[in-house]
């Protein structure tokens, strides 16, 4: 049984820790700056009290405590935590994005190579049944050589408000641009589908919705019943987090610890936090967000493959649409449906159904399975998203932002 330490016990870190324990590994050390969350999660995982750390300084001062480490801290901390872990001899599973700085990404690739260690990035969509099935069709040659890819990332209006307006990924200077934070998954898939490197990128994007000038007249700064729009605003925070009615279930009923920063909060504590101090209780038109809401990226790959990725913040649900054409056929579908249409020229059209699961369509379990298998056998599944390869997704995002900020000019990608 392989042992794992986990840095960061927010939604993603705690989820990975549970899956590690449920899928044949063992979490033996945990680290989080919030002591309430640290002890609540530590208790659930059965982690010994002396293996719970309030800071990474304390954790790393103890040397190497496990075979591998999960880095699920805040975006800007990923690089430093991953670097220290690699230097201590840990294999690393790092939440995306790794870093908004190109040189830091390249440095981590080089350290992992020099130390002969595995560094895997949590591009979990690769491990979902839907995208796994697409990759198998492409690799089979049924649609011939890929010529064009169109992918759309529809970020639900509620998800964008939670994560990119009120939440941790709302400001580029504190985290990363939204095209990197939200869509490095998708940029990775464009590369993964073909196995070809991206040569150049151009991009355009905009902010139009979540701005103070769009606030209804008289809107309150926080989402309470004192706001005159609390019955009609689709972004009213209590409905997102705790108001269970005959007509709706709160979308983020399982985010109470995030809202309150308390390990096991009550409904009353959630209500109080939203009304007073929690950033998740702010009016979406009165936040300090600055990340782009809608963006399109045009990519040119080796082998004359063209690809476009569009991120849209205004959809009802969270889902992706994909249309891939080749020299012998095409496929298109919606990942939330778990199936795609496959048309091969001269043959009968057919529907391909993928095996679906919970958590990124099964990708959350898939990446833990493949990572633990890699630790046990040393033999990677072909879909494993090693940093040395998936760094391409980050380079594409960096180029997209450079292009967007310069009016959509073409930017060449150099590794």
Where on the phi/psi map is residue 304: left (φ > 0), alpha (ψ -120 to 50), or beta?
left
CB of 302 closer than 8 Å to CB of 321: no
Q: Supply the CATH number for residue 197's domain.
A: 3.30.360.10
Domain termination residue (choose one: 93, 121, 149): 121
Nearest to 364 by CA among 79, 129, 195: 129
Q: Does one domain contain both 161 and 116?
A: no
Beta strands across the sheet bearing 52-53: 52-53, 26-31, 3-7, 68-71, 91-94, 119-121
DSSP-derived letter for residue 263 is S
Is pLDDT at 247 greater than 80 in this prediction? no
**Quick one: pLDDT at residue 59?**
98
Residue at 402 is within a domain: yes
CB of 37 closer than 8 Å to CB of 261: yes
Residue at 106 is within a domain: yes
**Quick one: pLDDT at residue 402?**
97
What is the pTM (predicted TM-score) of this model? 0.93
Residue at 363 is within a domain: no
Residue owning tokens 């392989």: 2
Q: Does one domain contain both 200 and 224?
A: no
Is pLDDT at 356 greater than 90 in this prediction? no
Domain termination residue (choose one: 286, 312, 334): 286
What's the pLDDT band for 86 if we cut at 50, 70, 90? very high
Helix ranges (H only) for 195-346 are 237-241, 256-260, 267-275
Residue 27's φ and ψ, nearest 5 degrees, are -80, 120
Residue at 219 is within a domain: yes
Domain termination residue (choose one: 121, 144, 163): 121
**Quick one: pLDDT at residue 221?**
97
Q: What is the DSSP string of 125-187?
A: GGGSHHHHHHHHHHHHTTT-SEEEEEEEEEEEHHHHIIIIISSTTS-TTTS--HHHHTTHHHH
Looking at the DSSP assignment, which residues form a beta bridge with residue 328?
Answer: none
Interior angle at CA 120, CA 119 and CA 122, nearest 5: 145
Mean pLDDT for the chain overall = 95
Is pLDDT at 253 greater than 90 in this prediction? no
Domain with 278, as residue range(s), is 212-286
Q: Does one domain contain both 174 and 280?
A: no
CA distance 33 to 8: 8
Measure the CA dihedral 400/371/167/105, to 10°.
-40
Residue at 338 is within a domain: yes
With a pLDDT cut of 90, the percent of the chain lying above it is 93
**Quick one: pLDDT at residue 414?**
82
**Quick one: pLDDT at residue 357?**
81
Q: How many domains does the chain have?
A: 3
Residue owning tokens 């990340």: 291
């Amino acid at each position: 049984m392989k042992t794992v330490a986990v840095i960061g016990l927010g939604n993603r870190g705690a989820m990975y820790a549970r899956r590690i324990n449920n899928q044949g590994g063992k979490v033996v050390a945990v680290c989080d700056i919030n002591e309430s969350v640290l002890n609540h999660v530590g208790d659930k995982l059965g982690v010994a009290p002396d293996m719970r750390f309030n800071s990474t300084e304390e954790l790393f001062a103890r040397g190497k405590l496990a075979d591998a480490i999960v880095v699920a801290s805040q975006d800007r901390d990923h690089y430093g935590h991953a670097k220290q872990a690699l230097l201590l001899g840990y294999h690393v599973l790092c939440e995306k994005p790794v870093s908004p700085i190109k040189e830091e990404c390249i440095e981590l690739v080089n350290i992992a190579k020099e130390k002969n260690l595995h560094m895997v990035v949590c591009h979990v969509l690769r491990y979902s049944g839907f995208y796994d099935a697409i990759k198998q069709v492409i690799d089979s040659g049924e649609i011939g050589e890929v010529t064009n890819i169109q992918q759309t990332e529809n970020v639900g209006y509620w998800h964008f408000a939670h994560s990119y307006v009120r939440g941790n990924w709302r400001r580029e200077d504190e985290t990363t641009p939204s095209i990197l934070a939200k869509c490095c998954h998708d940029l990775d898939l464009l590369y993964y589908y073909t196995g070809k490197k991206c040569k150049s990128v151009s991009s355009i994007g905009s902010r139009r919705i979540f701005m103070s000038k769009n606030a209804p007249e008289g809107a309150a700064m926080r989402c309470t019943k004192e706001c005159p729009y609390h019955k009609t605003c689709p972004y009213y925070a209590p409905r997102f987090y705790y108001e269970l009615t005959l007509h709706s279930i709160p979308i983020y009923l399982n985010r109470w610890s995030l809202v309150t920063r308390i390990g096991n909060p009550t409904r009353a504590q959630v209500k109080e936090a939203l009304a007073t101090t929690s950033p998740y209780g702010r009016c979406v038109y009165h936040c300090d967000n600055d990340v782009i809401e809608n963006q399109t990226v045009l990519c040119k790959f080796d082998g004359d493959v063209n690809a476009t990725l569009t991120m849209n913040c205004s959809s009802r649900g969270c889902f992706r649409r994909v249309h891939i054409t080749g020299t012998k056929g095409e496929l298109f579908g919606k990942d939330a449906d778990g199936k795609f249409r496959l048309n091969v020229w001269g043959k009968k059209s057919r529907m391909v159904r993928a095996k679906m699961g919970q958590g990124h369509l099964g990708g959350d379990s898939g990446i833990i399975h493949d990572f633990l298998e890699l630790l046990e056998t040393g033999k990677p599944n072909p879909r494993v998203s090693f940093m040395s390869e998936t760094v391409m997704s980050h380079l594409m995002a960096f180029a997209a932002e450079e292009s967007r900020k310069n009016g959509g000019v073409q930017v060449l990608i150099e590794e």
